[in-house]
Structure 1
């Protein structure tokens, strides 16, 4: 397996770089959109609340592959062209943000309502109270499930291989088809994914323990 890695290091490195880039962009994008949707879901504005809830339910209940193929196949028909990388990454953002929104919403709802009222009574707006008082506490509560969502995002980034996204899985398929070392190749690719996700898992566990001891 070491020889396989050394002989195909350029392809594997390119795939790893693409996977990490898609994962980081997907993580940031899904966290931002997910947080916004979570805030809107618990807002007093009924119309906005319904729209956010519809967004979350829609993307939670559609296969990731369908979303990715929409950007890769359907969008170009209407003049919006995306390469495999961006089709996969945008699909990851929309799909993961729905789960992130649901997770953060649960955290927000776990905060006593009196804290929102206390924040508003000091002169803070709804958004300011949510940003400075509610969200920091909500993030601490949902840190473990949020970490699981980010690990799932990294694993789900392999969907880029379906749309020639030149990611780690795509390069693995290419190497396996040219070297005929199928077992060794996919074992190596699986090990590399493990090397990416395990540090995230340990980091989230460390943060959880840190905040638990701090509280």
Structure 2
């Protein structure tokens, strides 16, 4: 266990990188995923088709392909981002369709009478979504959204291939320096991920309890 104690400062810095990456990409994914869901259930045909095409393309391709495309494709177009921003962009583009589909399922679970009642008092589509439909949909999709964020947590491990010193990158370095301590290193790194996942699960449980509808 000495390998973990001696490198605690390095591991906690890596934990901070992973946590920051998760928070930023998770928040952006929630925002963009909500927009995509509104496009997919909206009355505008062009936006509906655009949202459907986007979801089908990005949801059905591996994250690694998207990372490779951004890291090697954008510089050829003269577009340059920092390693952190590129990884955030890739994770957001990849995760948003899953958020979208979870929210769309929540929207479809809301009785149609809710939207009709909102329209009958003069609310437009945007107002109906913002004030009536989406608040109820978010209550219904806390567990699936939490599952998407947990999957995002695991997907952050891929950024170690592309320049960020996150937990997985530090694990590789420690394994090179301390090959005889393999199990302790694996256990230590795994515990950091377990902490993140448990925090997401706890947050989801608290939200479910607070938003529970009788």
TM over 0.5: yes
Query: Structure 2 matches for 1:1-215, cutoff 5 A?
Result: 1=1, 3-180=2-179, 181-212=181-212, 214-215=213-214
Structure 1 residue 154 displacement after superposition: 1.1
CA distance in structure 2 between the aligned counterparts of 1:6 and 1:184, rounded to whole angstroms: 11
The structural deviation recorded for 1:206 is: 2.9
Superposed displacement of residue 116, structure 1:
1.1
TM-score calculated relative to the size of structure 1: 0.94
CA contact (8 A) 2:4 2:184 kept: no
Cα-Cα RMSD:
1.3
- TM-score, normalised relative to structure 2: 0.95
The answer for unaligned runs of 5 or more in structure 1 is none
Secondary structure of 2:74's counterpart equals helix
Q: What per-residue deviation string (whole Å, max 9, x for no partner) do you get for residues 84-123 of structure 1? A: 3222221111111010001101110111112112112212
How far residue 178 of structure 1 moved from its aligned partner, in angstroms, is: 1.4
Q: Is the 8 A contact 2:146 2:201 kept in 1?
A: yes
The number of equivalent residue pairs is: 213
Checking the alignment, whether the CA contact within 8 Å between 1:72 and 1:83 is kept in structure 2 is no
Contact 1:72 1:81 (C-alpha < 8 Å) held by counterparts? no
Q: Any idea what SS the aligned residue of 1:118 has?
A: helix
The runs of 5 or more residues in structure 2 that have no matched partner are none
1:142-162: CA deviation from partner (whole Å, max 9, x where unpaired): 111011111111111111111
Whether contact under 8 Å (1:72, 1:82) holds in the other structure is no
After alignment, is 61-70 or 177-186 more displaced? 177-186
Shift of 1:6: 2.1
